[in-house]
């Protein structure tokens, strides 16, 4: 078949089968950790209200792909932001563009997949136990949808500033409850997913019980975790640049770490090359996601293969 396969937002979302994305993202994380992916640091042009980022990457067997994405503050809702853009998948042999898909839905699902891998690899309990999702926007909803697919027996709480939006998000995970506030939701959690557009910390160290795992995926505009949480945690990330590159490529929370502090790559844990929590059930672990183009490659490949199999999308000649 010739031409570029184009998937609109709905068809992109339909093609991102949760188990397939989770598996492909795991492969990509391992490839990054083992130096088997080619991904330069993200670059961005700054605008008065946000940024335009460019994220190319290549993972063997999945292909080269590139994402153009805007992150723009929502002027009507402080603390929230829009993530919009496009992802293009190319043939790894002859360079032909194969697919053009919606970046917003793809980014939400692949980010949820990396956060979920962090929790499954680093949480004290394989069933995750008591889980709190902090946030009520698109990323929190993607996280709840993925959790419902892969850990439906978890005891899930949703915490946010807006009770009505928290209730709407909680409906995506059958049986989830809504917390009265973020602190109340976090204090009883064994796993916390932070999925916000925060410009200042929404999580405090004193709220966290011994043995908690935190997967933090927000923070394009500022830190989502407080310094105490970062200070006391064993730290994990998708790539070394999360700590060595300045934002927006690196994480706000991982800048200027104390001498001797080390960030372990999550892919090394998934591959069995490095330990995760180990036997310390009382340790605090944090997976800090900054987003990574290798994960976009993984997700767009899943969407492309599923679209071909199911006859989704339209073809155009370029």
Q: What is the pLDDT of residue 80?
A: 67
- Claim to verify: residue 252 and residue 194 sit in the same structural domain: yes
Helical H segments across 95-153, by residue range = 103-122, 138-150
- Claim to verify: residue 148 and residue 77 sit in the same structural domain: no
* Each residue's pLDDT tens digit, 16-56: 999 999 999 999 999 999 999 999 988 889 998 888 999 99
- Claim to verify: residue 252 and residue 156 sit in the same structural domain: yes
* Each residue's pLDDT tens digit, 218-233: 877 799 999 999 999 9
- Claim to verify: residue 162 and residue 277 sit in the same structural domain: yes
- Claim to verify: residue 63 and residue 130 sit in the same structural domain: no
Averaged pLDDT for residues 249-272: 93
Q: What is the pTM of this model?
A: 0.93
Q: How many domains does the chain have?
A: 2
Q: How many C-beta neighbours within 10 Å does residue 125 have?
A: 14
Q: Residue 65's domain is classified under what CATH number?
A: 3.30.1780.10
- Using alpha carbons, select from 294, 303, 295 the residue that is nearest to residue 102: 303
- Claim to verify: residue 118 and residue 227 sit in the same structural domain: yes
- Claim to verify: residue 233 and residue 97 sit in the same structural domain: no
Instruction: Give percent of the chain with pLDDT exceeding 90.
Output: 83
Would you say the C-alpha torsion 142, 148, 154, 160 has a positive or negative sign?
positive
- Using alpha carbons, select from 78, 220, 232, 203 the residue that is nearest to residue 132: 203
- Claim to verify: residue 99 and residue 35 sit in the same structural domain: yes
- Claim to verify: residue 210 and residue 117 sit in the same structural domain: yes
Domain membership of residue 51 as a residue range: 4-106+293-316
């Amino acid at each position: 078949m010739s031409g570029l396969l184009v998937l609109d937002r709905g068809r992109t979302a339909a093609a991102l089968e949760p188990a397939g994305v989770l598996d492909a993202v795991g492969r990509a994380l391992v490839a990054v950790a083992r130096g088997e992916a080619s991904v330069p640091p993200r670059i961005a042009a700054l605008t008065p209200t946000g940024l335009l980022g460019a994220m190319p990457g290549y993972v063997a067997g999945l292909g080269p792909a590139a994402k153009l994405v805007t992150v723009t503050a929502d002027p009507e809702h402080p603390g929230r932001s829009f993530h919009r853009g496009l992802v293009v998948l190319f043939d790894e042999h002859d360079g032909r563009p194969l697919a053009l898909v919606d970046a917003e839905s793809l980014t939400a699902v692949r980010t949820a997949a990396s956060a979920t891998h962090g929790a499954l690899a680093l949480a004290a309990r394989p069933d995750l136990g008591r889980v709190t999702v902090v946030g009520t926007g698109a990323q929190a909803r993607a996280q709840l949808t993925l959790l419902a697919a892969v850990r439906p027996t978890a005891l899930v709480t949703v915490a946010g500033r807006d009770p009505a939006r928290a209730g709407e998000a909680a409906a995506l995970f059958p049986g989830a409850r809504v917390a009265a506030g973020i602190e109340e939701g976090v204090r009883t959690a064994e796993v916390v997913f932070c999925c916000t557009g925060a410009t200042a910390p929404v999580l405090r160290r004193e709220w966290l019980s011994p043995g908690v795992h935190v997967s933090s995926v927000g923070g394009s505009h500022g830190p989502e975790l407080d310094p105490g949480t970062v200070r006391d945690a064993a730290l994990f990330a998708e790539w070394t640049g999360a700590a060595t590159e300045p934002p927006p490529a690196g994480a706000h929370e991982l800048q200027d770490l104390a001498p001797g502090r080390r960030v372990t790559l999550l892919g090394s844990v998934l591959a069995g090359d490095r330990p995760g929590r180990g036997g310390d059930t009382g340790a605090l672990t944090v997976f800090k996601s900054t987003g990574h183009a290798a994960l976009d490659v993984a997700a767009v490949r899943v969407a492309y293969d599923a679209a071909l199999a199911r006859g989704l999308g339209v073809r155009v000649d370029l």
